[in-house]
Amino acid sequence: MSGAVYLTFTRCLLLAMLALLLAAWLSRPAALQATWPALDETQCQVRGGGHDELRIYQPTDVLAEALASQLCQQTLVGSGYGRVSVSWRPREQLDTDTLLRQQFDLLWDRQRVLEGRLARAEDLYRLLRPMPSYRVAWYSHRRDPALTPAFFADLRIGLLADSQSQSGHQWPMKQLAQHQLPASPAQLHFYTSRQALLADFLAGELDLIPAVSTYPQLKDWPTNQQLTIADDLPIGNWYLSRRVPAALACPLARALDLYRPLVQAVTSTPWAGAECGS
């Protein structure tokens, strides 16, 4: 009797194992290939346009849709371009190869960055629209911020994780390094986006952040709770690939007037008009 029980048990076990093996083999899924759309890009079609695409890069998504829309509906109509894309991918991805291949026809970047990544950058890109400099400061919840160990003791400092950000990472980190601050690296908190950084600062989760005054919440921040990091940081310039027909330089430069309010919010330098004939 016990022999029959063992036999039944072994038989069921073997059958179950075989069933699972077969099921695992027969039900194996085919690998899926996903076509990922770029999440940091906007596109539009030029009315009655051709096949070419005008690719633009800017280090922010502000006004990206507005610029694309203006180019598609006005500036590039009848130009031969049939499509416009505006990308605000992380600046780390704007590497030398991307620039060499002129993947972007119109780009907003700083001169030092462009020249640092590309020897004789002017051979490929020409300056289309220079822009003024701006001020970056530490914003604090405590009064009279100072670059001293006493002030920085136990401060929770928020920074941008993007190492290519001049205002949110490079200058603040450089200044902290110069003054050997803070005492503990654990006091530094890195954020993916400016919005999250500002939200945590306003919520009291952070004591000190680097920022520009463009944010409405910081516009009237008390001056005795600010500490200037730099007054004249370049905001960057607009560069145009030399592949783009020269005839389009002026219309494109004019289209960039769209950014006047944005730039003037962070600098007192007047917005210069596009230097081309009317």
Partner 1 sequence: MRRGWPWRVGLRLLAWSLLCALLLLALGWGRIQWQWHQQLMAELPPKVAASLVNSQDRQTSLERSTLRLAQMTLTPRDGPGWLFAPPQLTELALEQAGEAGSPVGGEAPPFWRGACWPLDGQRLCAHWQLQLVPSPSGVALTSLLMGGLLSLAGILLPSPRRWRRWQWRHKLARQGVSPAKAPQLAASLQADPARLQQAQDFAAAAACSLEAALDWLAHADWPGLDASGRDWLALALRQGLAAETALAVACHPPQLHFDLAARQVVIHGLPLRLSRTPLLYFYWYAQRRRAGLPGYVNPASHRPDRAQGQALAALMRQHGGHGKAIAELEAQGLRSKTLDQNRNRIRDELRQALGPLAEPYLFDSTRDGATARYCHGLLIPAEQIGGILDESLLINEIGT
177 interacts with partner 1 by CB under 8 A: no
8 is an interface residue for partner 1 by CB under 8 A: yes
**Cβ-based nearer residue to partner 1, 244 or 263:** 263
Q: Is 117 in the site for partner 1 (CB under 8 A)?
A: no
Of the residues 2, 33, 184, 223, which one makes contact with partner 1 according to CB under 8 A = 33
Q: Which residues contact 273 (CB under 8 A, 6 or more apart)?
A: 257
Of 78, 80, 36, 88, the residue nearest 54 (C-alpha):
80
Instruction: Choose which of 81, 125, 152, 191 interacts with partner 1 (CB under 8 A).
Output: 191
Residue 192 touching partner 1 (CB under 8 A) = yes
CB-based contact 113:197 (threshold 8 Å): no
Confirm or reject binding of residue 186 to partner 1 (CB under 8 A). Answer: no
Rounded-to-integer distance, Cα 9 and Cα 204, Å: 65
Nearer to partner 1, 34 or 119 (CB): 34
Q: Tell me the per-residue interface mask from 57 to 86 with partner 1, x by CB under 8 A, - otherwise.
A: --xxxx------------------------
Closest CA to 239 of 249, 251, 228, 226: 249
Comparison of 26 and 150: residue with beta carbon closer to partner 1: 26
Nearer to partner 1, 99 or 206 (CB): 206
Tokens for 164, please give them: 């290519």
Q: How far apart are the first and last CA of the chain?
A: 105
Minimum separation from the CB atom of position 73 to partner 1 (A): 19
Nearest to 241 by CA among 66, 71, 53: 53
Question: Minimum distance from CB of 194 to partner 1 (Å)?
Answer: 7
Give the C-alpha distances (Å, rounded to integers) separating 124 from 80, 111, 121, 205, 213.
21, 13, 6, 45, 34
Binding site for partner 1 (CB under 8 A): 3-4, 7-8, 11, 14-15, 18-19, 22-24, 26-42, 59-62, 88-91, 93, 162, 191-197, 200, 205
